[in-house]
Structure 1
Amino acid sequence: IAAVVDAQPQAESLITQMQSTIASTRHRSASRTSTPIVYCEEWGKPLIHSQTWVAELVEAAGGRYLGTPGTHTTAEDIAAADPDVLLFAWCGAGNRVPLERVIPQRNWQSLKAVREHRVFCIPDQYLNTPAPTLLEGLACIAAATHPPLHPIHPELIQLGRAEITAAEASSDPDPSQASAWSAK
């Protein structure tokens, strides 16, 4: 595409910058003491694992991607896997995934990620579009996966235990209504 619009030098520069950022994140994550299991959710009804490029970003950030990218899963399968980190980036929801409702609705309160306060919402535009914005998604994933090694990203939303306790578990989160919700 860059050649067609006579923008090859800019495209090559962008590619180099993206590769450099990914390599830097990999290098920083190399000093980790663990490889957390990370569940990334692209959609909540039905539950859908994030796409292949998100799995690659999780690995670059020093995590192990849970599941098969782009496939359906169940709350029970995720509970059985007991991931270390839960990341939500529902398509079209921005950063408005109602984490405080999703966790109790799925009976995930006892998951390791929830007990250790490692439940996050990432703005969907950082993960669901294969574009340069993926670098922001990588920064969010790295901060969620290895917080001592990577700075917290200002748009990464973390769920606290009090929010789960206070949520009304009876309401069933519907991703198509995400714009009406506000994550804390």
Structure 2
Amino acid sequence: MSMGPQRIVCLTEEPTEVLYALGEQHRIVGISGFTVRPAIARREKPKVSAFTSAKIGEILKLQPDFVVGFSDIQADIAAELIRHGVEVWISNHRGVDGILDYVRRLGALVGAGDKANAYAQSLQAGLAAIEREAAALSRRPKVYFEEWDEPMITGIRWVAELVRIAGGDDIFPERAAESLAKQRILENGDEVVRRAPDIILGSWCGKKFRPEKVAARPGWDAIPAVRDGELHEIKSPVILQPGPAALTEGVTEMARIIRAWAAAR
């Protein structure tokens, strides 16, 4: 008899990705419509939620014994499910250590603690390897990470930490420490100009990054990154979700961009 919840609904992508990585995907009965990793999940699991809204009726029909979501943004969905007697876990991790801990906790909750510990260790080893390689770079670039353009929103904490692991320095560390997106909104672009990033990374949640629009902002032609054409997109599914994708594909892409920048100096 397998222990732990048998009918799990995942309201965001990262629990789906973790459960598949642990070989526990048979427990998942519903996923987020924004799920892109792993690709097979989209084909074989019903989509029952967006990020800020969910089909409560559809979720209840699936008779879940456990629902997993993320952050204050999903508080209303969680409250409604709880009122219907569903067990809900809303995680609220913000940093790299938090993501690793999340993997361990989710694994433990479904009775796959040992597999989850091994998986978290392999993710950690991958980050350590990237950090070692970055330590050998001749220079560390200053990096501006933009999560949204109108208004401009700077990178969340795990993004800033991954920039550092990949060999760069996030130009807004004080904002990365804030947990709510509204505290990461830039009133205007002057502060970015003043902090003079060497690289601009864009990941506009769910829409294509437009470097030419960024470069055309008033006064931004003075920024080293704009002058040198160092504006790069990192696709939002691999960096803006606090799960395995960010600790693997996301940080690897950052490291590649930073290495190429350093090699050209």
TM > 0.5 fold call:
yes
SS in 1 for 2:221: coil
In structure 2, what is the equivalent of residue 125 of structure 1? Answer: 237
In structure 1, what is the equivalent of residue 249 of structure 2? Answer: 136
- State the 1:149 CA deviation: 7.5
- How far apart, CA to CA, are the structure 2 residues paired with 1:14 and 1:42? 28
- How far apart, CA to CA, are the structure 1 residues paired with 2:252 and 2:109? 31
- How far apart, CA to CA, are the structure 2 residues paired with 1:106 and 1:97? 18
In structure 2, what is the equivalent of residue 87 of structure 1? Answer: 201
Task: Tell me if structure 2 keeps the 8 A contact 1:58–1:141.
Answer: yes
Instruction: Indicate the RMSD between aligned Cα atoms, in angstroms.
Output: 1.7
Deviation per CA, 1:45-80: give whole Å up to 9, x if none.
111111000010011011111112151222111011
Amino acid corresponding to residue 76 of structure 1 in structure 2: D
Provide the identity percentage: 28
Q: For 1:1-184, what aligned pairs fall within 5 Å after superposition?
A: 1-67=106-172, 68-69=175-176, 70=181, 71-73=184-186, 74-93=188-207, 96-134=208-246, 135-147=248-260
- Worse-superposed segment, 67-76 or 37-46: 67-76
- Worse-superposed segment, 53-62 or 70-79: 70-79
Task: Tell me if structure 2 keeps the 8 A contact 1:28–1:149.
Answer: no
**Structure-1-length-normalised TM-score:** 0.75
- How far apart, CA to CA, are the structure 1 residues paired with 2:258 and 2:220? 19
SS in 2 for 1:34: coil
Amino acid corresponding to residue 109 of structure 2 in structure 1: V
**The structure with more helix, counted as a fraction of residues:** 2
- How far apart, CA to CA, are the structure 2 residues paired with 1:72 and 1:145? 25
Amino acid corresponding to residue 157 of structure 2 in structure 1: T
- State the 1:147 CA deviation: 1.7
**Structure-2-length-normalised TM-score:** 0.53
Aligned CA distance change for structure 1 residues 148 and 21 (closer, same or farther; 3 Å): farther
- State the 1:148 CA deviation: 6.9
In structure 1, what is the equivalent of residue 34 of structure 2? Answer: none
In structure 1, what is the equivalent of residue 24 of structure 2? Answer: none
- How far apart, CA to CA, are the structure 2 residues paired with 1:108 and 1:147? 22
Task: Tell me if structure 2 keeps the 8 A contact 1:143–1:149.
Answer: no
Higher RCO by CA contacts (8 Å cutoff, separation 6 or greater): 1
- State the 1:105 CA deviation: 3.1
- How far apart, CA to CA, are the structure 1 residues paired with 2:109 and 2:197? 44
Amino acid corresponding to residue 133 of structure 1 in structure 2: A
Amino acid corresponding to residue 257 of structure 2 in structure 1: A
Amino acid corresponding to residue 55 of structure 1 in structure 2: A
Moved over 2 A (4+): none
- How far apart, CA to CA, are the structure 2 residues paired with 1:107 and 1:149? 25
- How far apart, CA to CA, are the structure 2 residues paired with 1:60 and 1:145? 11
- How far apart, CA to CA, are the structure 1 residues paired with 2:149 and 2:189? 10
Task: Tell me if structure 2 keeps the 8 A contact 1:39–1:87.
Answer: yes
Task: Tell me if structure 1 keeps the 8 A contact 2:140–2:262.
Answer: no
Larger radius of gyration: 2
